Chain A
Amino acid sequence: MAADDAIKNHAAERRLFLIRTVAASLLLLTLIGMLIARVVYLQVYKHGYYETRSQDNRMRVEVVPPVRGLIYDRHGNLLANNEPAYRLEIVPEQVSDSVKSTIARLSKIVDISKADKQRFYSREKQTPSFRGTPIRLSLNQAEVARFEVNRDRFPGVDIRAGLTRNYPLGKYASHLVGYVGGITASDLDGLNKKRYRGSSHIGKAGVELSYESRLHGYPGSRVVETNAAGRALRQLDMHPATAGDSLVLTVDSALQKVAYNALGDQDGAVVALNPNTGGVLAMVSKPGYNPDLFVNGISHANYTRLLNNPHKPLYNRALQGQYPPGSTIKPFMAIGALETGVIDPDKKVWCPGYITLPGSNHRYRDWKRSGQGWINLTQAIERSSDVYFYKLGMKLGIDNIHRYGSMFGFGQKTGIDLPRENAGIMPSRAWKHGNRHLPWYPGETLITVIGQGFMTATPLQLAQAVSEIAKRGHAYKPHVLKAWKDPQTHTTTDYKPKALPPIELKDKRHWNIVINAMKGVIDNPHGTAHYYVGQHLKYPIAGKSGSAQVAGLPQNEVAPDLDSIPHRLREHALFIAFAPIQHPKIAIAVLVEHGGGGSSVAGPIARRVIDSYLDSLPNSKTLQADQSGNKTGGNS
């Protein structure tokens, strides 16, 4: 302090400060002067003008809510539509008695449910009392007529024409497209209230939720002159609302239906991607639900029915379901083993039907109890040998298994443009330590390498991972948006597919080895899916089956036949595939919950979807040429 004081000139500083204070005071007085001048201008000079304006201030500004953008599939079929509907609104300031008794009297003319009332009261609080709040949405013609007859008895109540959302594809695309619902108090918390002024609905699930801000648009306004009771007499000024953008999805609604129907009466999921763009061609979770039910507030009974349905129709199996991938993981593990050089693909390994770890009696069994004999890598994939992969896994080790699994996206969200995706689990030592507080045991390596144990994946991840193989490491991030259209300017903007970081193998031939083996799964008479998928192929398909255990079998017990196992304990059936092999147009993952065999149950579903899609392509002739080229030439 003392040293500082020494170099300070206190008198000068005080003087400086005084000058500054005077300067500030002058500025202040100037600003106050400006303000006073402004107020005098308004209150004295223009008083007469504003007094008149105030007296006939009978104009009212009303909100014109924007029209929500439509959602189309890639061929222009509507997935979400707006239909005209009438709704009943109450302007609390204008009712003759109390709002409550008005509603009571109204309910004798039109149905007003408890949910309607709840929505009304929660929204009424957020709305100025001179604005209307809807009490009933989508009135039918009879109700409109009944109200019109009684209109005079209900001052402050009015019918308004509006639009309501509906979903032409219904249950087939329910999880994908999602639905809108009434804006709740908790929705309002995070919203730009100005943008939602006058709006009643907001996206709650699927594309409707993830592209909410694009679909919604901006409200407009109109200035109306009103009479003393507040009823609009004429319109003075109009600022139209800005409609939300329409979306075009990459989805093919015909294929969506094919995939849904192919699942038959089983629960499961199908995800088909275009590996060249990452665009979702079909994404099905079965059973679906009727999204129209949610739009104007689902009834309690309907909601309970959906919630209590043992098939869980509200559960999006395609991107939320986390299942052990079973043997579908083997091609990815094979690439890991080839890249790290722990195996020679041509070297044959003896498969006696089981192996044991040193110092343990536990038998890790092959799905084929009698064993597969001497087999190399290609045969191991074709026949889905567990023993070959147990040995491969031991050499590879959990760290590499984790590394190569992660490289193909397992254990991470794909980042698709849909809400509530799950990440699945690609276990590692660190993961187990963090989640189970236990070290990694060698036996767990064996079951991880065949996609059991801790490992889980979503059908979307499997489709994404098989796209990586199809494109030899140059796949794209999955997405459902293809383009959006601005309804005002009629301009269409294409979504730009985002390339994922490429997977560069040390030796590119490793792709060929694995793809050939996956081709063998279907082509080779010994291939697990040859009988179920490989008959009368129109296009060369590469695939891999998987059957994921749900409940462990007791040691030494022979697997009982399928029919004797309770449904909920049966294996999940999985199948991943892509086609045509040379120039892949579709990559697919199929999951059938408790379906049993991957090849026999999930395989044919994949085949039906692939056939349907490739047959629908305009240049399917050239694709067939591709197949003949493949027969003579093999992989490039």
Chain B
Amino acid sequence: MSTTTRERPATLSEWLAHWHIDVQLFAALLCCALLGLFVLYSASGRSANVVIDQSVRLGIGLSAMIALAQVPPHWYRAAAPWVYVLGVVLLVATLVLGDAAMGARRWLDLGVVRFQPSEISKLVVPLTIAAYFHYRSLPPRLTDVAKASLIIAMPVALVVRQPDLGTALLIVAGGGFALFFAGLRWRVIILLLILAAAAAPLVWFNLHDYQQQRVLTFLNPARDPLGAGYHITQSKIAIGSGGVFGKGWLNGSQAHLNFLPESDTDFVFAVYAEETGLFGVLGLMAIYGFIVARGLFIAVKSQDTFQRLTAASLSLTFFFYAFVNMGMVAGLLPVVGVPLPLISFGGTSMVMLLASFGIVMSIHTHRKLLAT
């Protein structure tokens, strides 16, 4: 693996290095996830089962992360297009034979497990774009941009058909970040934003009825006092009543009196903010900020285009999740089903996020130690 033969690792940091683990990233992620377990224990009304469940997922996620960190980055570069194609095939299969739930086909039943193929695309679209630009000179020419857009558009179109607008937007974001870091020209970015704004009415009339309803609720929470609107009202009360220092762990009355629904999944941030106050919120933002900064640092230090784009876009996607979730719970953004990274109860998001940081670690720990 490395240029010099290694001896048995003696210290912890040597041991971590031997297993291609980036200590700082690992510490921050673990710290965040452990904090998450505490929050969940409170948010679930002291349910040991929820904490045990989530711990198991954390274990799976960390194992996946460490396993992925062992694989050298150029393997990812080689594999990305194939996994991308596999993802698209599975998305087609989902549309044809997927399990229909609530009028949407998102799940593929493989007998033992049911899973959402859109999750594969979320991770692999930025990798595929990065691999694509790796072989081209940057900033990209317009034809390259067009081809990269096609790479994003295919899974997005399939996910929109499911229909799952939230996930589609996340895939667009992941691929878009990769394009941005590849050096997509500013005027093109501005043009695209204008085009998106212009296309909005067109999209609107093609939305499903319930999707339109949801958008209308974003704009006017009183429309759906039981659903999104109610969530927002209650979560604002929870956050606001937390104050600067918070009500203390396990003392969040809003969550515990059951006024706040979904307190352990998408709205867990409200519980956290209620109990830990502004200090806790700033602390959590600091941890998130550190993780993103470390990811960007790794990107800057990395040695080729693929690695740069991959590390940077995965890090930014992580930030995007955190920002959208907190923004939504704080009433800054419309309600979309995005979990709070590493904290919300739920397995898929936990495992996928840790897996993506496994790739980032691999990029950092497999640098060739060139004689400089």
Binds A, one of B55-63, B115-123, B239-247: B239-247
State whether A42 touches B239 (Cβ < 8 A).
yes
Chain A nearest Cβ from B256, distance in angstroms: 11
State whether A54 touches B253 (Cβ < 8 A).
yes
State whether B137 touches A43 (Cβ < 8 A).
no
State whether B239 touches A36 (Cβ < 8 A).
no
State whether B138 touches A13 (Cβ < 8 A).
yes
Chain B, Cβ-Cβ closest to A239: B225
State whether A57 touches B259 (Cβ < 8 A).
yes
Some 30 contacts from A to B, beta carbons below 8 A apart, are A4-B135, A4-B136, A13-B137, A13-B183, A21-B300, A32-B323, A35-B326, A35-B327, A35-B332, A36-B285, A39-B281, A39-B330, A43-B273, A43-B281, A46-B240, A50-B236, A50-B239, A51-B240, A51-B241, A51-B243, A53-B237, A53-B240, A54-B254, A57-B254, A129-B258, A130-B258, A190-B102, A194-B226, A237-B225, A239-B226
Q: Which residues in B have their C-beta under 8 angstroms from that of A61?
A: 225-226, 230
Q: Which residues in B have their C-beta under 8 angstroms from that of A7?
A: 137
- A residues contacting the other copy or chain, number (CB 8 A): 52
State whether B101 touches A190 (Cβ < 8 A).
yes
State whether A32 touches B101 (Cβ < 8 A).
no
Chain A residues 207 to 239 lying within 8 A of chain B, measured CB to CB, are 219, 221, 223, 237, 239
Chain A, Cβ-Cβ closest to B100: A190
Instruction: Type the 1/0 row for A108-137, where 1 means its CB is closer than 8 Å to any CB of B.
Output: 000000000000000000001110000000
Q: Tell me the bound Cα distance from A190 to B100 in angstroms.
A: 7
Q: When the two chains form the complex, which single residue of B226, B257, B285, B331 contacts A221, counting CB atoms closer than 8 Å?
A: B226
Chain B, Cβ-Cβ closest to A47: B243
Chain A residues 1 to 56 lying within 8 A of chain B, measured CB to CB, are 4, 7-9, 13, 16-18, 20-21, 24-25, 28, 31-32, 34-36, 38-40, 42-44, 46-47, 49-51, 53-55
Q: Which residues in B have their C-beta under 8 angstroms from that of A51?
A: 240-241, 243
State whether A20 touches B183 (Cβ < 8 A).
yes
- B residues contacting the other copy or chain, number (CB 8 A): 56
State whether A24 touches B181 (Cβ < 8 A).
yes
Chain B, Cβ-Cβ closest to A128: B258
Q: Tell me the bound Cα distance from A55 to B242 in angstroms.
A: 12
Residue A304 lies at the interface, judged by CB distance under 8 Å to chain B? no
Chain B, Cβ-Cβ closest to A219: B226
Q: Which residues in A have their C-beta under 8 angstroms from that of B230?
A: 61, 221
Residue A559 lies at the interface, judged by CB distance under 8 Å to chain B? no
State whether A38 touches B330 (Cβ < 8 A).
yes
Residue B337 lies at the interface, judged by CB distance under 8 Å to chain A? no
Q: Which residues in A have their C-beta under 8 angstroms from that of B181?
A: 17, 20-21, 24
Chain B nearest Cβ from A553, distance in angstroms: 46
Secondary structure type dominating chain B contacts? helix
Q: Tell me the bound Cα distance from A228 to B111 in angstroms.
A: 48
Question: Are A32 and B285 CB-contacts (below 8 A) given A191-B102, A237-B225?
Answer: yes
Q: Which residues in A have their C-beta under 8 angstroms from that of B356?
A: none
Q: Tell me the bound Cα distance from A16 to B281 in angstroms.
A: 34
Q: Which residues in B have their C-beta under 8 angstroms from that of A130?
A: 258
**From B237, B282, B292, B332, residue with most partner A Cβ within 10 Å:** B237
Known: A20-B183, A35-B332, A57-B253. 5 other contacts (CB 8 A): A36-B281, A40-B278, A44-B243, A221-B230, A239-B225
State whether B239 touches A24 (Cβ < 8 A).
no
Q: Tell me the bound Cα distance from A31 to B332 in angstroms.
A: 11
State whether B330 touches A35 (Cβ < 8 A).
yes
Instruction: Type the 1/0 row for A191-205, where 1 means its CB is closer than 8 Å to any CB of B.
Output: 111100100000000
State whether A43 touches B332 (Cβ < 8 A).
no
Residue A189 lies at the interface, judged by CB distance under 8 Å to chain B? yes
Residue A63 lies at the interface, judged by CB distance under 8 Å to chain B? yes
State whether A39 touches B135 (Cβ < 8 A).
no
State whether B243 touches A24 (Cβ < 8 A).
no
State whether A194 touches B241 (Cβ < 8 A).
no
